[in-house]
Chains A and B, each alone.
Chain A
Amino acid sequence: LAKTTQPISMDSYEGQEVNITCSHNNIATNDYITWYQQFPSQGPRFIIQGYKTKVTNEVASLFIPADRKSSTLSLPRVSLSDTAVYYCLVPGNAGNMLTFGGGTRLMVKP
C-alpha cells in the first residue's frame, strides 16, 4: 500500500511561490500522483496529476524526480484564496481507491 508523507502545515505570504513536497517511497510502477485542494466546508477538488518529470496547468505545476519517490506541488504567486488543505495521493490497492493522508494545511497571509 503506497503511503504518502507531507508536511502538516505551511505558512506563506501573498505573491510568494509555495512548494509542497510529498514523499511516496513505495509508489508502484504504474501509479500516478494526484493532488487535491480542499477549502473549509467543501469537498476536495482536483488540482493536478502527473507520472514523471513536470506537469503544468493553469493552477499549479507538479515536479516529479526520476525515482518518483517524491513529488512537489508548486503554486505560483499565491493569494489569500489559496489558503486550503492540499492532499497528495497515490493509488491504494489496484488503483481503485485513493488514500487521503492528513494533507498540508497552507495558510497564506497578507
Chain B
Amino acid sequence: QQQVKQSPQSLIVQKGGISIINCAYENTAFDYFPWYQQFPGKGPALLIAIRPDVSEKKEGRFTISFNKSAKQFSLHIMDSQPGDSATYFCAASTTNDYKLSFGAGTTVTVRA
C-alpha cells in the first residue's frame, strides 16, 4: 500500500515553463516532507523539504506548497530548464525516525 501517492507519472514542459507535481499522503503522523531529484544512474538527492508548520517554502526556482487539511503537497518548478530534466520523488516521514515513504516518482522532461 503506497503511503504517498504522486502524480503525474511523467510530464513534458517547454523551457521557461512551469512544472507542477502533486503528492497526497494518508498518515497524519507524517511531519517531514522532502522532495528528491534523481538523474539516471545516480542516487536521489535532496532538493527541498518542508515541515507542516508552514504552507509554502521557496528555494530559487523550486517551491513546495503544503495543505495540511487536505493532506497534500506539491512541487512547482518555475522557469524550467533542460538541466531540470530528471525524476522527482516526493516523500514523507515522521521526525521521530526519518523513515521515508516515497511516492512513485515523476519523470520531467524539459524541451529546449
A and B, one complex? Answer: no
B interface with A by C-beta (< 8 Å): none
